[in-house]
Amino acid sequence: MNDSATLEQRYRRLLRAYPRTYREQHGEELLSTLMEAADPETRRPAIREALPLLAGGFAAHARDARSRAPWWVDGLHLGVLAVATTTYAMKVDVLPHLIRPIWIALAILLLVALTRGWLRLALPLAIVAVVQASGLAARMGVPRFGPAYVETSNVVPHVVIVAGLAILAIGRRGKALPARSWLWLLIPVSCWMLQFVDFSFEEELPWLLFRSGVEVLALSAVLWATVAAKDARWSLAAAIYMIPGLAYLAENLPAHGRKGFAYWGLLTLLVVASAVAARRTRRRI
């Protein structure tokens, strides 16, 4: 194989960083430009070309992940979906016994409605959930089927979901939201499956480490996507996702050690950095 063919093959491999649809539309054009710009003697892609290609591929993925909705609608929807998914994934006892069948049915229906963007169904379900989770049901004389009220921070995620959906309902005038991938539902399903092996989300150290790793990676990806696609939607979603966690931290301050503060500080820093990046880059071409 001659130098040029080897180089072309290596560039083709690097171009896999881009989404398939992007490659189909622009792949040959990019390759042609890369080959024109390359030193004819070289067999390896230059670092100054390879790194921007990887970054460009990530930015193209980020741009592909956007819906056609305005950035704030997309961000709010994603944030509410992230809060609902993580809350119901870890706070609902599904297996091995159905302790609260109506509550579980409501959770599943709400998660499906949120994922598919059915705003008119999701908002009333979320209001029922907040009434049940806050202990208001007992005071209102409504039959109770939700979890027992423990502390304010347990109710915060449900309030965030209702508030987010209410803003979306007003802003969209009841119009449905763009549907999200069914993969979102894999998160609660996987967590509920773990309950089969009597797994406690509160105590298991490997779980805490796994969750921390996922959160740091996800929020770092949010920061990168915000900068790469010059778009604020993920930054808004991340800020909404942080509200329940920070409420929990505030309510249980004495129970958190130095590591806990450092961890929440890091997450907050990533979200603040994303917000600053979003503000600086949103109007910059």
Partner 1 sequence: MTEATYFILAALLEKPLHGYGIIKRAGEQSSGRMKLAVGTLYGALDRLAEAGLVVIDREEIVDGRARRYYRITEEGTAAVRAEAVRLQSAAAVVTSQIMVMGT
Shortest CB 18 distance to partner 1, Å: 9
Inter-residue contact 260 to 249 (CB < 8 Å): yes
Cα–Cα nearest to 147, from 208, 94, 80: 94
Shortest CB 230 distance to partner 1, Å: 7
Inter-residue contact 192 to 96 (CB < 8 Å): no
Select 50 or 216, whichever has its Cβ closest to partner 1: 50
Shortest CB 60 distance to partner 1, Å: 7
What is the phi/psi pair of residue 28, to 5°?
A: -65, -35
Candidate segments 51-59, 89-97, 172-180, 258-266, binder of partner 1 by CB under 8 A: 51-59
First to last CA, the chain: 41
Buried b / exposed e along 193-228 (16+ C-beta atoms within 10 A): ebbeeeeeeeeeeebeeeeeeebeeebebbbbbbbb
Select 51 or 209, whichever has its Cβ closest to partner 1: 51
Residues in 111-130 that interact with partner 1 by CB under 8 A: none
Does 148 contact partner 1 by CB under 8 A? no
Select 60 or 160, whichever has its Cβ closest to partner 1: 60
Which of 34, 111, 160, 185 forms a contact with partner 1 (CB under 8 A)?
Answer: 34
Candidate segments 29-37, 172-180, 246-254, 264-272, binder of partner 1 by CB under 8 A: 29-37
Report the C-alpha gap between 164 and 11 in whole angstroms: 44
Does 5 contact partner 1 by CB under 8 A? no
Shortest CB 50 distance to partner 1, Å: 8
Report the C-alpha gap between 220 and 100 in whole angstroms: 36
List, in order, residues 6 or more apart from 153 with CB less than 8 Å away: 244, 247, 248, 250, 251, 252
Select 228 or 242, whichever has its Cβ closest to partner 1: 228
Inter-residue contact 169 to 123 (CB < 8 Å): yes
Report the C-alpha gap between 110 and 104 in whole angstroms: 10
Does 56 contact partner 1 by CB under 8 A? yes
Does 233 contact partner 1 by CB under 8 A? no
Does 55 contact partner 1 by CB under 8 A? yes
- What mask, x for binding partner 1 by CB under 8 A, covers residues 255 to 284? -----------------------------x
Does 31 contact partner 1 by CB under 8 A? yes
128 burial via Cβ count (<10 Å: 0-12, 13-18, 19+):
buried
Neighbouring C-alpha atoms within 13 Å toward the C-beta of 208: 8
Which of 10, 12, 26, 172 forms a contact with partner 1 (CB under 8 A)?
Answer: 26
Which of 29, 39, 198, 203 forms a contact with partner 1 (CB under 8 A)?
Answer: 29
Residues in 60-89 that interact with partner 1 by CB under 8 A: 60, 63
Does 28 contact partner 1 by CB under 8 A? yes
Q: What does the binding site for partner 1 look like in residue numbers (CB under 8 A)?
A: 26, 28-34, 36-37, 48-49, 51-57, 59-60, 63, 228, 230, 284-285
